[in-house]
A and B are shown apart, each in its own frame.
Chain A
Amino acid sequence: MLDFLGLVVFAIFTIMIVGAGLGVVLANRVTTSALLMAFTFLNMAGMFVLLGAETIAAFQVLIYVGAITVLILYGVMFTPQTPRAYGLFFQKQTPWGAVLAALAALPVIVVAFSFHDAKTVAPPGGDLNALAIAVFNSFAFPFEVASVLLLAAMVGAIVLVKRESPAAPPAAPLRRSEPPR
């Protein structure tokens, strides 16, 4: 009974993720895309809960749904996004790209179903303990390096976006009083 319920919930999440994901790619308005992306992330958090990874799910909501979506929305805000004729928002290579993506997806999904015997086992009592021990023991150093990466990204982003201060006067020597002609 519980298994069946789980399956139903899984199916709902799957439909939401795939549908919203397709929406991100196909929506005309960029704002719609961004909101659909946030919705996809939210459903992904649900998937994590189904897998018994509550901590990851919490991170997912905080970082993706919160931070990244907001950042993307700022990006949308700062660049002009006028909806236009549907055909115009695709690249010239669209048919090639679609075919290629489909061709690549097919074998991967087939391979994915080759795991049909394996079961996922949710750890009892959540994943927080194990995750914390792993991050702060075995992965302590990469964890610190990751913080440096974030700092570098922050500085880089600021440098990239910073406007040049209004052109400073060239460092020519100050001209004193001109000699009388």
Chain B
Amino acid sequence: MSVDVVGLVWLVPGIPLAAAIVNGLFGRRWLHRTTGVIASVALGLSAALGLAIFFAVLASGGQPRVVTLYEWIGVGDFRVDTAALVDPLSATMVAVVAGISFLIHIFSIGYMEHDRGIHRFFTWLPLFVFFMLTLVLADNYLLMFVGWEGVGLCSYLLIGFWFEKPAPYTAANKAFWMNRIGDWGFTIGTILTFLTFGSLNFHEVFDKVAGVAQTQPLTITFIALAFFLGATGKSAQLPLYSWLPDAMEGPTPVSALIHAATMVTAGVYLVARSTPIFADAGSALVVVGIVGAVTALFAATIALVQVDIKRVLAYSTVSQLGYMFLACGVGAPIAAIFHLATHAFFKALLFLGSGSVIHATEEQDMRRMGGLRRKMPITYWTFLLAGGALAAIPPLAGFWSKDEIVGAAFTSGHQILWSVGIGTGLLTAFYTTRMIYLTFHGEPRDHHLYDHAHESPPVMTVPLMLLAAGAVLAGLVLGFPPDAGFIHRFLAGVVSAEAGQQPEAPNYVLIAVLAAVAVVAALIGIGIGYAMYARRRPDPAAVSRAAGPIYTLLVNKYFVDELYDHRIIDGGRALFGAAWAFDAHIIDGIVDRLAWLTALIGSGLRRVQTGVVGNYALSIAAGLLVLIVVYGGYATGMLHR
């Protein structure tokens, strides 16, 4: 094998782009359902190449390589290329993104089968993959921003996919505007990076960070915070998280791919990629950790009481993303990427499983489901495995990665964050149990719905099974033994965690104790869930009555949407009203006056235009006379040159 696989890296995003273009141009008129096959085949090729690149990077010992497509911007010393940085981090991301995208595309063939807009769906989904791969492959912040905005656009388009209904397009607008706030942070960070380092290239910036941190520590902190603001927008952290639950208005495969497995992890990727900046950013790192931990707990509490199966998963996603930021904040970005990878498997599986249920019942409210395990055995078992992974039951994937994050919080001396992580783990186990029980166990609560339910076709169940294999094995394969597993050795060269005081050799006793605590917490959560929903002791209704105002608070999601609507939006309206008045009266006023002046001059000058040819001829002759006089002046020397 002498093929330079890494040199072909641009084909990985290129093939999905080609599929998107073909489907976009010809889908509506000619291809229709074939678009799904085209997109899936393209994604299959892309995923195969992505895996090949992953192994090529592995074989080369993790040496980073830059594959330049062409020079994008070159101004003086400033140079930005359209170039791919292929190193262990991006190779891991490419393998995860391309692989999961492939499975979700296949699933979508079945899920979207009866939708009239299927060609639109299979235009935007590969386009999203193209932008996501551009984002993770970029070797500089500017190209990354292109991908960043591109995935935001595709997210907007796909959330509002069923735009005939009011809820999806409202949700799409909300997602777009919230992301704009985050994008603003990214832009500020990029500009500051350029001003500080004179470059946007990752390697050039990271080489200079340590030096600049000596002289301008505040600047580095500010850059880190700006990038983190961007990350909170894209990755749905406090305070910009509230678009993600609403984004569930999109088709379920979109929720699985964009709003669970890939796009929302872009913020984590950004922080992990910028580890050298964050490592020197001092207090910014603490902010990241705290925001992550608070978000994890906050979202998990909301997830306790939601009745829409996809909303539970959405808040769960927000919560798990919080874990990833917690890991970044305590100086364990490798654990963050590890959790990103495992979470991609089991959360995509959970979403696809819920998609399978929704496809079968056309219902999202868990209160009307129940007993579906007998009708949909494959969906049930895969869902159960993924739920176990989410609840961090050993040896499923989620256990290894989440335990590592929580453990890193403890070993780095953040005991409070550790306890938040353990508590969130308990809540996670509880709401997962509740979700699974309400959906699949018990007696059918809506017999009409139950009688029409059916197992999904193989095109949907096969991806479920493949993802289930990932949800079971990914943790063991990537992360065993703890803190010294494959992924740690693979990523150590790139994501050097200087800030975290991780011991050279893992302390396995401590790890085991911490893991035991986490597992016990998870089991307690499952036990409470089982007691409440299987045994009705205590009865959930009684518990919610007893909780009273707290329950109301949770059901209404802490009234955050209302707060945003009434305080921030109204404040914004007032500001925009003032801006509009300024525009209407001052800016437009000036323009109007100018126009009025022009009209005045014009109405005076129009008298010159008599429309009579003779007058025009006369003026030509007058011009001739002037020419003659001037020429004569020069010729006779009366005028001087």
Contacts and interface: CB of A to CB of B under 8 A. Distances in A.
Contacts of B622: 100
A108 B628 contact: yes
A103 B626 CA distance: 10
A93 B629 contact: no
B618 A100 contact: yes
A91 interface: yes
Interface string A7-24: 000000000000000000
Interface in A88-120: 91-93, 96-97, 100-101, 103-104, 107-108, 111
B621 A104 contact: yes
Give me the 5 closest cross-chain CB pairs, A-B, nearest first: A91-B614, A104-B625, A100-B621, A107-B632, A107-B628
A96 B628 CA distance: 18
A111 B628 CA distance: 10
A33 B621 CA distance: 23
B355 to A, nearest CB: 54
B590 interface: no
Interface residues of B, number: 12
Given A100-B621, A107-B629, A108-B628, 12 more contacts: A91-B612, A93-B614, A97-B614, A97-B618, A97-B621, A100-B622, A100-B625, A104-B624, A104-B625, A104-B628, A107-B628, A107-B632
Contacts of B624: 104
B615 interface: yes
Interface string B600-613: 00000000000010
Nearest to A96: B618
A48 B608 CA distance: 43
A100 B618 CA distance: 8
Nearest to B617: A97
A107 B194 CA distance: 69
Given A91-B614, A93-B614, A93-B615, A101 B629 contact: no
A104 B622 CA distance: 9
A125 to B, nearest CB: 37
Interface string B621-641: 110110011001001000000
B628 A93 contact: no
20 contacts: A91-B612, A91-B614, A92-B614, A93-B614, A96-B618, A97-B618, A100-B618, A100-B621, A100-B622, A100-B625, A101-B621, A103-B625, A104-B621, A104-B624, A104-B625, A107-B628, A107-B632, A108-B628, A111-B632, A111-B635
B573 to A, nearest CB: 55
Contacts of A108: 628
A107 B632 CA distance: 8
Contact of B618 (A93, A103, A107): A93
A168 B614 CA distance: 38
Contacts of A103: 625
Contacts of A92: 614
B623 to A, nearest CB: 10
Interface string B105-137: 000000000000000000000000000000000
A114 to B, nearest CB: 9
Interface in B467-513: none
Interface in B522-551: none
Contacts of A91: 612, 614
Contacts of A97: 614, 618, 621
A107 B628 CA distance: 8
Nearest to B632: A107
A97 B629 CA distance: 17
Nearest to B622: A100
Nearest to A94: B614
Interface string B405-421: 00000000000000000
Contacts of A101: 621
A91 B616 CA distance: 13
Contacts of A100: 618, 621-622, 625
A123 B471 CA distance: 106
A97 B615 CA distance: 9
A96 B622 CA distance: 10
A108 B628 CA distance: 8
A111 B631 CA distance: 11
A107 B614 CA distance: 23
A103 B625 CA distance: 7
B553 to A, nearest CB: 71
A101 B614 CA distance: 13
B266 to A, nearest CB: 60
